[in-house]
Amino acid sequence: MAFNRAKFSRSSSSSSSGSLLSKLPLWVLRFLQFVFAVTVIGLYAQDLRAASKVHSYSDNKWGYAVAVGVIGAVSSLLLAWPRLSMWGWGWDLVVFILFTALFGLFGKMYIHEKPEGLAGIKRMKNAVWIDLINMLLWFITAIYGMIMFFFFRGSKSLHTGRATV
């Protein structure tokens, strides 16, 4: 059974409320990406701040984690605009790869670690699972963006219906 592109193409008679309703899942995903990226920043920056307070060496792994969190937060805000989201699926893949590396890096260090009452180990174990959630959210939006790009880029313009988009 072949995919019927015409069935899913934009129509010039679509209402603005239907248009907003179709963008709601993307906005929810981008909001969740922002919230979890800020959570990553908060979880990993605690150790950077503690090392800075005692004038100690801070590991580059934690700096990488904070940098990926900042990239994720800023990207989720910029890509929340639906026009950028359709074209930004490549960037979604890049951020997905960054979070995959982050999950692999800290997952290897902390998934099998026994907390034994240490709050820092518990926090880092939780941070690993937040990294996994981020990784999955960025994967979902990358796939969504690819679908939007490859299936809807040849549709007609919204206002006149004459131009190919």
pTM: 0.78
Cβ atoms 49, 56 nearer than 8 A: no
Residue in the block written with tokens 């603005």: 16
The Cα 75–Cα 134 span in angstroms is 12
Digitized pLDDT (tens) for each residue of the chain, 165 residues in all: 455 554 444 444 444 444 677 778 889 999 999 999 999 999 999 988 877 777 777 788 999 999 999 999 999 999 988 666 667 889 999 999 999 999 999 999 999 888 888 888 899 999 999 999 999 999 999 998 888 778 776 666 667 766 665
